[in-house]
Chain A
Amino acid sequence: MLIGLDCAEPSLVLERWRDKLSTLAGLMERGAYGRLTSVIPPITVPAWSCMMSSKTPGDLGVYGFRNRSDHTYDGGFIAMSTAIKEPRLWDLVTRAGGSSVVLSVPGTYPPRPLSGVMVGCFLTPGLESKYTYPASLRDEIADVVGEYIFDTKDFRTDDKDYLLGQVYEMTNRRFALAEHLAENKPWTFFAMVEMGPDRMHHGFWKYMDPEHRKHEPGNPYETAILDYHRHVDGLIGRLLEHADEDTVVFVVSDHGAKRLDGGIRINEWLRCEGLLATLAEPEGVSSLRDVGVDWSRTTAWGEGGYYARVFLNVQGREPEGTIPPDKYEAVRDDLARRIADIPDDAGNLIPTAVYKPEELYGEPKGVAPDLIVVFGDLLWRSVGTIGGDEGIQTLENDTGPDDANHAQDGLYIVAGPGIQATGRSDAHLLDIAPTVLELLEIEEPPGMRGRSMVPALAER
């Protein structure tokens, strides 16, 4: 049984709050736990699919939520389940003759057939979508929990009580469904992912963290994230009652969380550097799409989101490429250096990492970005907009309040038969799938990137 907590942060769950989370602490006591280093980029899509397949984003050809499908300027797709071509754990369990319960694991809408049941993830458009496999499960869900909630609505609200209510309602219904499925469906592999921790971190971090630049001591939400974790800890405790004694339990997260200092407006920076030309002068904060790009005078452009994907405009590759192919590497190296030097709002250097996809992934599939940029050790995020008065650095998220960014390390806790109380040892997100396979005695397919943790966990 694998319980995913999107964005659960190891320094909180494994350390600071350990004695407040009795269910998780009990698992840690009986088994093993540690940091779980995520893939780059450490974001929900593709990280959960990487964990479930033991493949890197480059293997999957999925570099974030929105991906380029070709080298044109507007050929893009949002990475849904169909973008994942590699087998994930439930596919391998199906092949081995077992069955699975897969509940809202990111990367599962539209749901795909398997031996067992699947409920679509947080990207399911709505309840009227065909979000279950088999189709008849949808009515059963309505009977059990009423309206199932895929994700929080109106996340960018200033009404924090409303947001809090939304997250709790979503989580409660998901765990109620999880208990129902765990009890009533046959499974050899059970996997669920709760999005609530991520939404709580993004919405409430500044109230908790005194180091956040907008923190106000004594605010009413100081313990909101902790309270939520205690609530989830209780729900996990109830869910575990539906697992028999032969069940190995994993609690995992796809990445952690840390405070957000601000955003770097990658396209605004490119524009100021003369590397990105627009068709018109932006009126206020705008998207590239709205203003239009003058491709014939553009060297590079970027995508926002939590990390920056930077694309070069190369002759013979992009429709109106400007960079001669033989200058590509020189331009890319130069750009990488300059991006790494973008300072924070006070003019201080920040520890920005700029990666070439082939350095991260070997031979990346699909259309990878030319550069992958993680600003300021993830204390800074990437923002895609241009125009307005803010300049390069923004302290206000342009789409509404956002308090936290993702941290590179998530966490894992594992306990159950065959797992000794080995205590703390850190691992990698890509190790989870081989570990689950070994525990289920299913042969590992060739090409998995991680290694089974079972040998280390089975001995003292």
Chain B
Amino acid sequence: MNVVVYVSDALRTDHLGCYGARYINTRTIDELAADGVRFDQAISAAPWTAPSTTSIVTGLNAHHHGYLHWDAQLDPTTETLFRAFSAHGYQVGSFVFDKNYLFKDLPEANVLGTSETLDRAFAWLRANRANPFFLYVHNWATHMPYDILHADRKDWLSAKQEIIEGIQSDSASALESMRESYRKAVERQSEVLVASFLEELETLGLLENTVFAFLSDHGESWGERFSPKEDVKGVYHMHGATLYDEIVHVQLILSARGTIEPGTVPAQVRAIDLMPTLLDLAGLPARDTDGESLVPLMSGSNDGDRPAIIAGTDMGALTKLAVRMPPWKLILDVESGEEEAYRLDVDPRELDSRPADAPPALREIVFRELESAERHELTEEEEATVAKRLADLGYL
């Protein structure tokens, strides 16, 4: 069996027909969902690419793997999807938006090139069709500023700036034109990129024995949470800065014709569940992950919602920690200790914060998780200070 993980960066779940969108043509993805298992409430571990994607490939919550910045260091002993599959004889390859970012410190990902066009990924598929393979594609088509190569830094940056200025201008027409570009990008993702990918798999006779996992690393927004709009200063404020559902509710579709029975899973699951699920489907031994296999849910068992932990970051620091446990979401600001809590079934847009009403169980989870995130070792200098004080006091 082969595995393809296809991540569409910043793709909002509510922009897909199979998740209820209207007036956006995502027929290919909708069919993929109809042929496979659609998870209706999948939650990302973080609101932006570096921590969120690292959670997808490690099965660990972001506050546990600690890769909260492009220059952060992932503990080299951390188990990854790549390592797990390659240890069992799989050919492993990755195509990403820019090799200077995603997986730059993860040699086992075997980044082979860009995903902005899929030609090289197709060539790799053809070369490895006879081997069991694990292919990771992180596609950027749905991430602003759309249709410009990330490597063309100058054009990319000026296009990006244009979008940010559009949001700051707070003009309805600028906003609508941005959203329209986004909708077009979503359609292109579905009807050009994913469609051609699936065609290629079919041509190579791989559709039957390949698990195709489709998901996004986070959603997107256009300054709705900010007032004044000048506070939207960069792409960080379009998704990385908040933990609301338009950002953290991601789509997750698993499809393998003939292997996976079509269905839908209404219970809440997490992006960190993908790694254990893929290992389970491939019959490989489980690894030590925060996530758990979704295979039991896919065959109809319902063990209820799984609590999702979401990490908010800023400049590499953990700044927020949220727990989403339907019907509640509790967001803790780690710096100030302030809490927000939303009752998602009656307040799905998360506008009416009621921290006093949140069930204590959520608070317990969030504090326990926060504690597990903190690295507490004293520096040598601190330890020496403490030891000296204790010795002075006669304790040592």
Does chain A have a CB within 8 A of B99? no
Are the CB atoms of A304 and B396 closer together than 8 Å? yes
Chain A: minimal CB distance from B338 (Å): 8
A129 in complex: contacting residue of B335, B382, B394, B396, CB < 8 Å = B382
Does chain A have a CB within 8 A of B386? yes
A117 to B337, CA, bound (A): 8
Are the CB atoms of A114 and B376 closer together than 8 Å? no
B391 in complex: contacting residue of A94, A95, A399, CB < 8 Å = A399
Are the CB atoms of B335 and A81 closer together than 8 Å? no
| B-contacting residues, A83-132, CB 8 Å | 91, 94-97, 110, 112-117, 122-123, 125-126, 129
B335 in complex: contacting residue of A82, A136, A154, CB < 8 Å = A136
Quick one: CB contact mask for B364-383 with A, threshold 8 Å, 1 for yes?
10010011001010100111
B395 in complex: contacting residue of A43, A94, A110, A114, CB < 8 Å = A43
Are the CB atoms of B374 and A110 closer together than 8 Å? yes
Best-buried of B367, B383, B385 by chain A (most CB within 10 Å) = B367
Does chain B have a CB within 8 A of A238? no
Chain B: minimal CB distance from A236 (Å): 24
Chain B: minimal CB distance from A178 (Å): 18
A402 to B395, CA, bound (A): 11
Does chain A have a CB within 8 A of B112? no
The answer to whether residues A399 and B392 also contact, given A125-B386, A134-B336 and a CB cut-off of 8 A, is: yes
Chain A: minimal CB distance from B365 (Å): 10
- A305: chain B residues within 8 A (beta carbon): 394-396
Are the CB atoms of B334 and A134 closer together than 8 Å? yes
Tell me the nearest residue of chain B to A112, going by C-beta: B371
A129 to B376, CA, bound (A): 12
- A91: chain B residues within 8 A (beta carbon): 367
Does chain A have a CB within 8 A of B233? no
B394 in complex: contacting residue of A122, A134, A137, A397, CB < 8 Å = A397
Q: How many A-B residue pairs have CB under 8 A?
A: 92
Does chain A have a CB within 8 A of B393? yes
Tell me the nearest residue of chain A to B356, going by C-beta: A97
- B333: chain A residues within 8 A (beta carbon): 134
- A134: chain B residues within 8 A (beta carbon): 333-337
A133 in complex: contacting residue of B337, B360, B378, B389, CB < 8 Å = B337
- B367: chain A residues within 8 A (beta carbon): 91, 94, 113-115
- A137: chain B residues within 8 A (beta carbon): 337
Tell me the nearest residue of chain B to A78, going by C-beta: B386
- A122: chain B residues within 8 A (beta carbon): 389
Does chain A have a CB within 8 A of B150? no
Are the CB atoms of B335 and A202 closer together than 8 Å? no
Chain A: minimal CB distance from B120 (Å): 45
| A-contacting residues, B89-121, CB 8 Å | none
Best-buried of B371, B381, B395 by chain A (most CB within 10 Å) = B395
- A65: chain B residues within 8 A (beta carbon): 390, 395-396
| B-contacting residues, A370-406, CB 8 Å | 381, 384, 397, 399-400, 402
A154 to B371, CA, bound (A): 33
Chain A: minimal CB distance from B356 (Å): 9
4 closest Cβ pairs, A-B complex: A97-B360, A134-B337, A125-B382, A113-B370
A-B contacts besides A65-B390, A156-B392, 18 pairs, CB < 8 Å: A78-B378, A78-B390, A80-B386, A81-B376, A94-B364, A95-B363, A95-B364, A110-B374, A110-B378, A112-B371, A114-B367, A123-B389, A134-B333, A134-B337, A136-B335, A155-B393, A399-B391, A402-B394
| Interchain residue pairs with CB less than 8 A apart (18) | A78-B386, A78-B387, A91-B367, A94-B367, A97-B363, A110-B374, A113-B367, A113-B374, A116-B337, A117-B337, A123-B390, A125-B378, A126-B382, A134-B334, A202-B393, A202-B394, A384-B396, A402-B394
